[in-house]
């Protein structure tokens, strides 16, 4: 259902390399690139403020496109300069007190867990790590059993950076609703490759990036905060975008998720990200998810059939991220070798996933992440190179 020839024509780099690093930063399609460069040209021609004024409709479309992508309301969407800052703007504004407890999972990403540790040190928030079940995903029964009268927040990652696992986020949402807990979801690796519906998931907060599976520009991100939570989460810092200075001694926060935005931002990036979401929606997120899962399954199974390769992905449901190691070979050196073969991959390290990798006695893995514009022929070529290394 996806016109592969058309999307590859929109992705010129496909003609000279195999890009299996979409979980790092994907390749922008031409409509995204053209939207950004056109706006930058306009800034150069008439001035930055004037160019922004002329792009008012496109900038407003950002909120409606994201609302449609997530099944949310435009007022629940904020444009933020990256996924980490988007996540921070919600997390550091949460109404938690000393002694309140956070539930997370052992697959959690470094940046998020560092924030938990900082708030534990500075604010006295406590962190409880939910174990994995026998296939490596969040153990929902264990999660519910760990809830205490002081538990206030569930904060997890949908798709961990270090593997193909898709956590059962809807099941987590049911637990959060049952126990009246705030539910915060990091969808950085999920958005753009998995169809997301915040109503079905049941999360109050969701953050993500533009550069990965959405195929948008670097330095762009977004934040969703549901209407019920907007007035309960005060941004940790504000400016004249997020608040209005109403008189010399008072101010009023924005009534929408724009309270989490900054006045100065990358306008061309915002337009590019809006176009990336529009591009993905035109293809169809269900179509994208189906193809990505199929390609990754083909790659994962073929790698698993090689005698000296170990595939390390966990979970019942798996996405477009495939992690593996080769006996006697360092992942960093493998990635460098592949790059010289015009194949892009990345490496997942212990420093990004201390709890998960530590438990599995792993230090690093090769991470190959496919997208819908990749092909079966590229998978075959990748396997040939891996065999010959």
CATH match for 31-282 among 1.10.357.10, 3.40.640.10, 3.40.350.10, 3.40.1280.10: 3.40.640.10
- The token pair at 159 is 């798709």
Question: Do residues 164 and 321 lie in contact, with contact meaning Cβ atoms separated by under 8 Å?
Answer: yes
Helix boundaries (H) for 164-236:
169-178, 198-201, 227-230
Question: What value does the mean pLDDT take over residues 365-372?
Answer: 98
Instruction: Give the pLDDT band of residue 289 (cuts 50, 70, 90).
Output: very high
Q: Is the pLDDT of residue 72 over 90?
A: yes
Q: How far is CA 113 from CA 78, 99, 191, 260, 363, in A?
A: 23, 17, 20, 21, 18
β-partners of residue 185 are: 156, 206
Q: Is the pLDDT of residue 174 over 90?
A: yes
| pLDDT score recorded for residue 59 | 98
Helix (H) or strand (E) holding 69: helix 56-70
β-partners of residue 202 are: none
- Dist CA 348 CA 250 (whole Å): 47
Give the list of residues 6+ apart from residue 381 with CB closer than 8 angstroms, or none: 18, 343
Over pLDDT 90: what percentage of the chain?
Answer: 100
Termini Cα distance of the chain: 35
Question: Do residues 49 and 192 lie in contact, with contact meaning Cβ atoms separated by under 8 Å?
Answer: no
| pLDDT score recorded for residue 1 | 86
Instruction: Give the pLDDT band of residue 292 (cuts 50, 70, 90).
Output: very high
Domain boundaries, the chain: 4-27+285-388, 31-282
Over pLDDT 70: what percentage of the chain?
Answer: 100
| pTM across the whole model | 0.97
Q: How many CA atoms lie within 13 A of 12 on its CB side?
A: 5
Q: What is the DSSP string of 101-139?
A: EEEEETT--HHHHHHHHHHHHHH--EEEEEPB-TTSSB-
Q: Which long-range contacts (CB under 8 A, 24 or more apart) does 111-120 make?
A: 111/84, 111/87, 112/87, 112/155, 112/157, 112/186, 113/354, 113/355, 115/87, 115/88, 115/91, 116/155, 119/91, 119/92
pLDDT in tens, 118-156: 999 999 999 999 999 999 999 999 999 999 999 999 999
Q: Is the pLDDT of residue 205 over 90?
A: yes
CATH match for 4-27+285-388 among 3.90.1150.10, 3.40.50.1820, 3.40.50.300, 3.40.50.620: 3.90.1150.10
Q: What angle do CA 370, 372, 373 make, to 5 degrees?
A: 95
Instruction: Give the pLDDT band of residue 11 (cuts 50, 70, 90).
Output: very high
| pLDDT score recorded for residue 114 | 98
Instruction: Give the pLDDT band of residue 20 (cuts 50, 70, 90).
Output: very high
Exposed (0-12), middle (13-18) or buried (19+): which is 135, by Cβ within 10 Å? exposed
């Amino acid at each position: 259902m996806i016109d592969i020839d058309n999307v590859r024509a929109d992705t010129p780099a496909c003609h000279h390399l195999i890009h299996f690093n979409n979980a790092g930063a994907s390749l922008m399609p031409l409509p995204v690139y053209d939207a950004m460069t056109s706006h930058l040209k306009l800034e150069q021609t008439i001035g930055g403020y004037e160019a922004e004024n002329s792009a008012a409709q496109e900038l407003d479309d950002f909120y409606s496109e994201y609302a449609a992508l997530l099944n949310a309301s435009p007022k629940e969407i904020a444009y933020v300069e990256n996924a980490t800052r988007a996540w921070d703007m919600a997390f550091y504004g949460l109404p938690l007190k000393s002694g309140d407890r956070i539930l997370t999972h052992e697959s959690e990403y470094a940046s998020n867990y560092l924030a938990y540790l900082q708030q534990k040190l500075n604010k006295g928030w406590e962190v409880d790590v939910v174990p994995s079940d026998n296939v490596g995903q969040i153990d929902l029964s264990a999660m519910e059993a760990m809830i205490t009268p002081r538990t206030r927040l569930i904060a997890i990652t949908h798709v961990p950076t270090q593997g193909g696992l898709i956590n059962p986020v809807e099941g987590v949402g049911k637990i959060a609703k049952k126990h009246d807990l705030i539910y915060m979801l990091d969808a950085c690796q999920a958005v753009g490759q998995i169809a997301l519906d915040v109503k079905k998931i049941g999360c109050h907060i969701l953050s993500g990036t533009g550069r990965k599976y959405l195929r948008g520009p670097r330095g762009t991100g977004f934040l969703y905060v549901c209407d019920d939570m907007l007035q309960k989460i005060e941004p940790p810092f504000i400016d004249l975008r997020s608040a209005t200075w109403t008189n010399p001694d008072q101010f009023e926060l924005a009534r929408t998720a724009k309270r989490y935005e900054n006045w100065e931002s990358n306008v061309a990036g915002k337009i590019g990200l809006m176009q990336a979401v529009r591009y993905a929606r035109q293809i169809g997120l269900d179509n994208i998810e189906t193809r990505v899962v199929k390609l990754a399954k083909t790659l994962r199974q073929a790698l698993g059939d090689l005698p000296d390769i170990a595939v390390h992905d966990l979970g019942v449901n798996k996405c477009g991220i495939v992690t593996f190691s080769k006996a006697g070979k360092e992942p960093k050196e493998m990635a460098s070798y592949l790059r010289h073969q015009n194949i892009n991959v990345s490496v997942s390290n212990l420093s990004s996933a201390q709890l998960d990798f530590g438990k599995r006695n792993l230090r690093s893995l090769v991470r190959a992440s496919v997208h819908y514009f990749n092909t079966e022929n590229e998978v075959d070529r990748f396997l040939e190179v891996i065999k010959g290394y």
